[in-house]
């Protein structure tokens, strides 16, 4: 719009005004037009305005034209007293050309402006002064009350400039143009019209000039006054009312209820000075508001005061507690409504949210928060009825389709409500996690936390966040973390579905009266959620509902759908891809307000990131459930590298009612994350699947643990197969029996430590944590420890406690109390730790029960572990030898340095499928050293304590030594005592009741201990006859006699029958040197030096011995011993012997002893025929020429009663006779039979 003011007065009535373009660019170029030309009279500018307050005013000579007015303003001298002062027409005097004007007759408009305490007066110039030159004088009579200001003389402006501004040449020039905002509770009385500067003429309502350049729409409310059809026209004029343009027309407005109208402004209405008018006298305009078109970075109101620039119409009130809504009147019948509507909001970018805070006592008030683009169609943003829990903070993401568009926000309810805060704008971080208000400050959205602290990040309360959780609903619902309707059921039967394990959280239709949902949270950063979901549609209903699985990170203000649940399935949903993943609530909800579906939840696994919580349960206490198996399951572990392990402490308890340990615990693994880790397999596979880590080579019994082996807490370390690397795995322990209890502690899953910490430490992420007595880095034994490497030959059927772990065994029968390995599953024995330093072989003997003659068919593995039983390596696999089943097994120790440097454990292991198949008894287990012991061959406890040998096979080995290294003087000594099975008084035998055998190949083969020399050899080998005689209740076996055969020997005792086995037992088995034995027996041979004893004198020994036996003497015994002799100078021995009987040939052995009868050597065999007598003469051997010698006659036949020894003569160069009968008598009592008669 262009305005031209001519500087000089043009008085000619024939004036031509021409618009001309002086230069143009060619045909049809620079096309333009002129419209709406207004020409007005012109007067001098100097007479128009007096801007400074004055007491008097006089104009210059002015030519008055029709319609001229005098317009001026009265201002109070003292505004503080303005409320006390009243205006009187006598306070002003007006003169025109010395004629006083009566203001009471000529003043047209009088208005008071309360905002600045001023009066505006408009006085039309009387007609008698038209077309005349006049001088106007204006005088203030009440000089103490008022002053003049803004005096105007000239053409009357349209609508008198709405009494707000300066009228210049008929154009209103306001000092400061005020933007028009709202007109509320509009009425047509004069005060309302003057207040709002509105002109109403006939059926037209005209608003004053409005700067509409930044307005986008107009919002107004109407109500018809008649029941007939009415039309309403809205127009605008961009050129001061010269021409009007239709904006919109409404027809058939006949409903007398309150209606809202929202009209976008066309571009031709957007001018600096625009006029707007409504035309129809029968429709009442109630409220009017213009909408700005500028985009806003935010919209926020904290309701500290009423702000008409933000909210339409006064239908609310504000106090210290916020905004309170008032009831809206003139609404259609039978409807009560409370609402607030915002002025137009244009948001400039995406990621905008709307957030509201309400009063806490509004938990049961339903709010509808809607938006509209046209004030006609409203679309839902928030329905607080969808917030199941009591809340006073709501929000939602603004749809992207309405960003950068002008919208209205309406908050509506059928009950009065209170608002404390509203915010539309860029979202705060995670919407302050629901624990604060989002406010705009310093050109950014920040959180005003509920604790009144401002945070640019968030208001997260970490103390409320939950760790990982496994919910089975087996106990009462924890309502501190769950929220759900009261009608939801916990049951094992949901409709027609039955769960034999964990119960259902069951949701049933409730006659469309209440929504079904379940909410849990808040959780830390979520990793995934797994749950079992069941859904059933009811054929009798027409239900289109869906079940939504949703999450919220802002305390339930906004919910985001993760999955639509439309079928029964195991659901697995990952959450690690969320941009905001903290303070997570989870919600299962039937999407519509009314429920009509049957659905259920159970076995919910919620896993949080970086959670130290190991177990599915919230604690490790697995509560007892009658009639069900115990189960313990971990969360998953990421296996990022090979050679990983699982390590834990385990204790298993006997069954309560039976106090029985006959149950097992199975460790399983699962890696199928997509199916919720529902596929479980044994952690350690069977050995037919792999040869590296299999069940027969791991731990005591693989990944199956027997209760009898874990009654005391012990550490378990199991390697994890490498095929699980780069996967997330879970572990589960399940019991084989109902109500079986166990305890797991100190679980570690990760990379294995060096050498598994040798089985003597806990593996941690930074290495081994060694047990006491073991040192880093491998938990090897402290060098100060003494390593023992011997295990004596023990009959384990009677002493299983000698082994560290024994399982799979039972007694053969009531008559055979030996322990046989016969149970189903695994069987075995594990030794305690021992050293293999100096060990050459392992020797094993097996036997079977007397009532079961079959030998074992399934192999028995002999294994070794260098890490305290974590991993086992096979030494040998023992299979049945049908040709010699009783023959022992000899296993050579490998030359592996690790086995010799560290402590090891030995295991005998067998796996079978059926009881009493491949059963076996471990008779002996020996560690054979490279350097054989000489002294320690028994511990004095060699007793089987078996009293019933009724069904045993004889002869039978009863006792045995280990291998003994031989030397020139070594003796084996033992005693024969009564067995504990005998209840009568003990009896000591002077003859060994057991038969002795020896072996020089570690017990592989045995030979009788008898060693008589052949007659043809006439060698002086040591003679050993059985049964052995006793000396002072001790039996002496000269092991040195076997030194020519081998460097080592072992001895065993055989019982010929059950009577001997039951009556007698061998005790105090030792090895001693010849001198030690003689000194202990107080014998003297002149060579051994015994402490505390005098050396023997050779002069006390006989050098010649003569004895005659006549026919009257008693029969000879089987053994005749001569007294101790000094044969140092003796040449020969001679005796006469006669055989009177008629049997076979008789043999006599002439023997000598240099060690007081401990061992005997052959001098000569004498062969006699029937009725034959001989004089035997034999030269002595050089080694017999010794000063302490015993000579004896041994009758080898069974008919010694037929023999008579007539004469015994020793002839020496110097004859000396010594009488030492008193000393020999005791010896003869030991070696001679009672019918032996010797006269010395």
Task: Determine the average pLDDT of the residues in 165-179.
Answer: 53
How confident is the model over 50-61, as pLDDT tens digits? 456 788 888 888
Instruction: Check residues 423 and 454 and name the one with the higher pLDDT.
Output: 423
How confident is the model over 342-365, as pLDDT tens digits? 887 877 766 788 888 887 666 667
Write down how long the chain is. Answer: 1240
Q: How confident is the model at residue 88 (pLDDT cuts 50, 70, 90)?
A: confident
**DSSP-derived 3-state class of residue 1061:** helix
- Between the two ends of the chain, the Cα-to-Cα distance in Å is 171
State both tokens at 107: 């003043």
What single DSSP character describes residue 159? G
Helix runs in 168-213, H state only: 190-195
Q: How confident is the model at residue 195 (pLDDT cuts 50, 70, 90)?
A: low
Return d(Cα 1073, Cα 1040) in angstroms, integer.
Answer: 9
With residue 535 as reference, give the H or E element that holds it.
Answer: strand 526-536
Task: Determine the average pLDDT of the residues in 523-536.
Answer: 90
pLDDT beyond 50 at 327:
yes
Strand order in the sheet with 232-237: 199-201, 204-206, 275-279, 232-237, 245-250
Q: Is 1055 exposed, middle or buried (0-12, 13-18, 19+ CB in 10 A)?
A: buried
> What Cα–Cα distance (Å) separates residue 668 from each residue in 680, 689, 693, 898?
6, 16, 15, 31
State both tokens at 483: 């929220």
**DSSP-derived 3-state class of residue 514:** coil
pLDDT beyond 80 at 959:
yes
Distance of CA 399 to the CA centre of its chain: 39
Residue-level pLDDT at 1226: 28
Examine residue 777 and say whether the peptide bond preceding it is cis (omega within 30 degrees of 0). yes
Q: Is the dihedral of CA 118, 124, 126, 130 positive or negative?
A: positive
Residue-level pLDDT at 797: 43
Q: Is 41 exposed, middle or buried (0-12, 13-18, 19+ CB in 10 A)?
A: middle
**DSSP-derived 3-state class of residue 46:** helix
pLDDT beyond 50 at 25:
yes
Residue-level pLDDT at 183: 64
Q: Is 632 exposed, middle or buried (0-12, 13-18, 19+ CB in 10 A)?
A: buried
Query: What is the dihedral angle through the alpha carbons of 240, 245, 247, 252, rounded to the nearest 10 degrees?
Result: 120
Max avg pLDDT among 271-275, 549-553, 752-756, 935-939: 549-553
CATH of domain 1101-1231: 2.60.120.260
Instruction: Check residues 615 and 113 and name the one with the higher pLDDT.
Output: 615
Query: What is the dihedral angle through the alpha carbons of 570, 572, 573, 574, rounded to the nearest 10 degrees?
Result: 170
Max avg pLDDT among 165-179, 231-245, 421-435: 421-435
State phi, psi for 588 to the nearest 5 degrees: -110, 125
Q: What is the pTM of this model?
A: 0.62
Lowest mean pLDDT among 539-543, 683-687, 1174-1178: 539-543
Return d(Cα 540, Cα 543) in angstroms, integer.
Answer: 9
Task: Return the number of other C-beta atoms located less than 10 Å from residue 14's C-beta.
Answer: 4
pLDDT beyond 70 at 1213:
no
Fold of 45-173: Jelly Rolls (2.60.120)
Return d(Cα 1012, Cα 1001) in angstroms, integer.
Answer: 22
Is the Cβ–Cβ distance between 842 and 927 less than 8 Å?
A: yes
Residue-level pLDDT at 148: 87
Task: Determine the average pLDDT of the residues in 180-204.
Answer: 62
Task: Determine the average pLDDT of the residues in 243-272.
Answer: 81
Architecture in CATH for domain 786-928 = Sandwich (2.60)
How confident is the model over 1015-1026, as pLDDT tens digits? 544 556 788 878
Average pLDDT, the chain: 77
Instruction: Check residues 290 and 868 and name the one with the higher pLDDT.
Output: 868
- In terms of CATH, what superfamily is 295-427? Galactose-binding domain-like (2.60.120.260)
Task: Determine the average pLDDT of the residues in 950-968.
Answer: 85
Residue-level pLDDT at 94: 92
Fold of 465-608: Jelly Rolls (2.60.120)
Sequence ranges of the domains in the chain: 45-173, 178-294, 295-427, 465-608, 631-752, 786-928, 956-1080, 1101-1231
Is the Cβ–Cβ distance between 485 and 517 less than 8 Å?
A: yes
**Location of structure tokens 């910490």:** 757
Task: Determine the average pLDDT of the residues in 947-955.
Answer: 80
How confident is the model over 468-481, as pLDDT tens digits? 888 888 878 888 89
Fold of 956-1080: Jelly Rolls (2.60.120)
Q: How confident is the model at residue 511 (pLDDT cuts 50, 70, 90)?
A: low
Q: How confident is the model at residue 790 (pLDDT cuts 50, 70, 90)?
A: very low
Lowest mean pLDDT among 36-45, 287-296, 717-726, 821-830: 36-45
Task: Return the number of other C-beta atoms located less than 10 Å from residue 333's C-beta.
Answer: 5
How confident is the model over 1064-1119, as pLDDT tens digits? 888 888 888 888 888 888 877 777 878 766 555 555 566 656 554 444 444 444 56
**DSSP-derived 3-state class of residue 1216:** coil
Query: What is the dihedral angle through the alpha carbons of 954, 960, 963, 966, rounded to the nearest 10 degrees?
Result: -100
> What Cα–Cα distance (Å) separates residue 440 from each residue in 297, 303, 309, 426, 458?
9, 15, 17, 9, 14
Is the Cβ–Cβ distance between 355 and 395 less than 8 Å?
A: yes
Residue-level pLDDT at 849: 83
pLDDT beyond 80 at 199:
no
Task: Determine the average pLDDT of the residues in 417-443.
Answer: 88
Task: Return the number of other C-beta atoms located less than 10 Å from residue 1085's C-beta.
Answer: 21
Bridge partners of 1092, per DSSP, are none
Lowest mean pLDDT among 298-307, 580-589, 786-795, 835-844: 786-795
State both tokens at 368: 């509808």
How confident is the model over 671-692, as pLDDT tens digits? 877 677 778 999 988 887 666 7
Share of the chain above pLDDT 90, in %: 12
Of the candidate CATH numbers 2.40.50.100, 2.60.40.350, 3.40.50.12140, 2.60.120.260, the domain formed by 631-752 belongs to 2.60.120.260
How confident is the model over 685-735, as pLDDT tens digits? 888 766 677 888 888 888 999 999 999 999 999 999 888 988 889 999 999
Lowest mean pLDDT among 593-597, 923-927, 1043-1047: 593-597
Return d(Cα 116, Cα 149) in angstroms, integer.
Answer: 13
The reply to whether domains 295-427 and 956-1080 share a CATH topology is: yes
Give, in words, the CATH class of 178-294.
Answer: mainly beta
């Amino acid at each position: 719009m262009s305005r031209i003011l001519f500087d000089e007065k043009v008085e000619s009535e024939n004036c031509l005004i021409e618009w001309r373009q002086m230069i143009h660019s060619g045909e049809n170029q620079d096309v333009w037009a002129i419209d709406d030309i207004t020409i007005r009279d012109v007067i001098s500018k100097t007479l128009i305005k007096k801007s400074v307050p004055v007491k008097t005013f006089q104009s210059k000579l002015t030519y008055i034209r029709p319609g001229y007015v005098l317009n001026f303003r009265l201002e109070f001298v003292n505004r503080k007293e303005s409320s006390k002062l009243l205006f009187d027409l006598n306070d002003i005097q007006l003169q025109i050309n010395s004629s006083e004007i009566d203001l009471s007759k000529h003043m047209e408009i009088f208005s008071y402006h309360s905002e600045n305490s001023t009066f505006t007066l408009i006085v039309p110039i009387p007609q008698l002064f038209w077309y005349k030159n006049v001088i106007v004088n204006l005088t203030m009579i009440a000089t103490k009350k008022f002053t003049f200001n803004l005096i105007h003389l000239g053409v009357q402006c349209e609508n008198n400039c709405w009494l707000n501004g300066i009228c210049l040449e008929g154009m209103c020039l306001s000092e400061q143009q005020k933007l028009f905002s709202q007109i509320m509770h509009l009425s047509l009385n004069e005060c309302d019209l003057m207040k709002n500067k509105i002109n109403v003429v006939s059926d037209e309502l005209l608003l004053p000039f409005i700067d509409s350049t930044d307005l986008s729409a107009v919002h107004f409310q109407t109500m018809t006054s008649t029941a007939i059809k009415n039309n309403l026209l809205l127009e605008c004029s961009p050129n001061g009312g010269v021409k009007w343009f239709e904006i919109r027309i409404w027809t058939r407005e006949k409903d007398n209820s309150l209606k809202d109208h929202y009209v976008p402004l066309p571009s031709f209405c957007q001018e600096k000075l625009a006029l707007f008018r409504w035309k129809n006298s029968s429709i009442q305009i109630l409220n009017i508001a213009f909408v700005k078109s500028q985009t806003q970075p935010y919209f926020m109101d904290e309701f500290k005061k009423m702000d008409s620039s933000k909210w339409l119409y006064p239908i609310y009130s504000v106090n210290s507690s916020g905004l309170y809504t008032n009831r809206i009147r003139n609404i259609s019948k039978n409807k009560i409504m409370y609402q607030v509507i915002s002025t137009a909001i244009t948001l400039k970018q995406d990621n905008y949210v709307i957030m509201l805070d309400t009063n806490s006592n509004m938990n049961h008030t339903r709010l509808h928060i809607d938006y509209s683009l046209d004030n006609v169609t409203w679309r839902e943003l928030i329905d607080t009825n969808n917030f199941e829990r009591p809340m006073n903070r709501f929000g939602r993401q603004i749809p992207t389709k309405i960003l950068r568009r002008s919208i209205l926000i309406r908050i509506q309810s059928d009950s009065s409500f209170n608002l404390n805060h509203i915010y539309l704008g860029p979202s705060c971080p995670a919407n302050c996690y629901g624990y604060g208000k989002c406010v705009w400050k310093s050109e950014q959205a920040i959180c005003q936390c509920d604790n009144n602290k401002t945070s640019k990040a968030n208001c997260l309360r970490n103390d409320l966040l939950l760790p990982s959780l496994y919910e089975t609903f087996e106990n009462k619902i924890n309502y501190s973390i769950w929220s759900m309707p009261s009608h939801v059921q916990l049951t094992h039967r949901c409709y027609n579905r039955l769960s034999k394990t964990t119960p259902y959280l069951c949701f049933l239709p409730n006659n469309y009266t209440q929504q079904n949902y379940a909410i849990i949270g808040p959780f830390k950063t979520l990793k995934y959620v797994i749950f079992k979901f069941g859904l059933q549609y009811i054929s009798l209903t027409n239900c289109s509902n869906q079940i939504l699985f949703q999450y919220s990170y802002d305390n339930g203000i906004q919910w985001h759908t993760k999955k639509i649940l439309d079928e029964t399935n195991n659901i697995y949903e990952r959450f690690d891809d969320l941009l905001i993943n903290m303070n997570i609530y989870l919600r299962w909800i039937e999407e519509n307000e009314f429920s009509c579906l049957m659905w259920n939840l159970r076995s919910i696994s919620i896993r949080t990131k970086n959670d130290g919580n190991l177990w599915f349960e919230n604690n490790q206490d697995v509560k007892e459930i009658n009639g069900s198996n115990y189960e313990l399951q971990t969360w998953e572990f990421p296996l990022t590298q090979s050679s990983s392990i699982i390590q834990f402490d385990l204790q298993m308890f006997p069954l309560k009612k039976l106090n029985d340990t006959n149950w097992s615990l199975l460790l399983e693994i699962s890696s199928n994350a997509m199916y919720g880790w529902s596929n479980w397999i044994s952690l350690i596979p069977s050995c037919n699947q792999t040869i590296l880590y299999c069940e027969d080579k791991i731990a005591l019994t693989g990944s199956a643990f027997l209760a009898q082996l874990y009654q005391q807490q012990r550490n378990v370390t199991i390697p994890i197969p490498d095929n699980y690397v780069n996967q997330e795995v879970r572990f589960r322990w399940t019991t084989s029996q109902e109500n079986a209890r166990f305890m797991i502690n100190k679980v570690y899953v990760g990379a294995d430590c060096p050498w598994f910490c040798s089985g003597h430490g806990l593996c941690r992420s930074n290495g081994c944590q060694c047990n006491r007595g073991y040192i880093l880095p491998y938990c090897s034994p402290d060098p100060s420890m003494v390593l023992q490497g011997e295990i004596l030959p023990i009959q384990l059927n009677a002493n299983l406690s000698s082994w560290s772990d024994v399982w799979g065994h039972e007694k053969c029968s009531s008559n055979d109390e030996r322990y046989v390995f016969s149970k189903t599953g695994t069987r075995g024995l594990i030794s305690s730790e021992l050293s293999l330093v100096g060990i050459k072989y392992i020797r094993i003997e097996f036997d079977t029960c007397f009532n079961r003659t079959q030998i074992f068919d399934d192999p028995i593995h002999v294994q070794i572990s260098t890490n305290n039983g974590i991993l086992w390596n096979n030494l040998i696999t023992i299979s049945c030898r049908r040709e010699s089943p009783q023959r022992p097994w000899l296993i050579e120790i490998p030359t592996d340095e690790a086995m010799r440097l560290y402590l090891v454990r030995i295991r005998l292991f067998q796996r079978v499928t059926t009881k009493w198949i491949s059963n076996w008894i471990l008779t002996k287990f020996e560690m054979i050293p490279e350097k054989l012991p000489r002294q320690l061959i028994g511990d004095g406890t060699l007793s089987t304590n078996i009293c019933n040998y009724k069904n045993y096979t004889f002869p039978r080995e009863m006792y045995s030594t280990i291998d003994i290294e031989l030397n020139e003087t070594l003796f084996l000594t033992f005693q024969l005592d009564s067995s504990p099975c005998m209840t009568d008084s003990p009896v000591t035998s002077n003859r060994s009741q057991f038969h002795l055998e020896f072996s020089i190949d570690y017990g592989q083969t045995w030979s009788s201990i008898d060693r008589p020399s052949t007659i043809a050899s006439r060698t002086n080998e040591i003679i050993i006859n059985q049964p052995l005689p006793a000396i002072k209740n001790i039996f002496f076996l000269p092991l040195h006699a076997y030194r020519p055969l081998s460097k080592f020997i072992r001895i065993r005792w055989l019982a010929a029958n059950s009577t001997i086995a039951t009556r007698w037992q061998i005790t105090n088995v030792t090895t001693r040197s010849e001198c030690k034995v003689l000194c202990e027996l107080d014998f003297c041979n002149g060579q051994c030096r015994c402490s505390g004893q005098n050396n023997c004198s050779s002069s006390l020994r006989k050098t010649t011995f003569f004895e005659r036996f006549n026919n009257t003497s008693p029969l000879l015994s089987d053994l005749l011993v001569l007294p101790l002799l000094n044969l140092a100078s003796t040449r020969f021995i001679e005796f006469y012997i006669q055989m009177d009987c008629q049997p076979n040939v008789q043999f006599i052995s002439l023997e000598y002893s240099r060690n007081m009868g401990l061992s005997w050597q052959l001098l000569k065999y004498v062969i006699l025929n029937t009725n034959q007598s001989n004089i035997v003469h034999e030269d002595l051997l050089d080694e017999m020429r010794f000063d302490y010698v015993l000579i004896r006659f041994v009758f080898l036949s069974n008919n010694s009663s037929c023999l008579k020894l007539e004469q015994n003569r020793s002839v020496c160069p110097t004859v000396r006779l010594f009488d030492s009968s008193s000393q020999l008598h005791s010896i003869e009592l030991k070696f001679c039979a009672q019918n032996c008669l010797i006269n010395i």
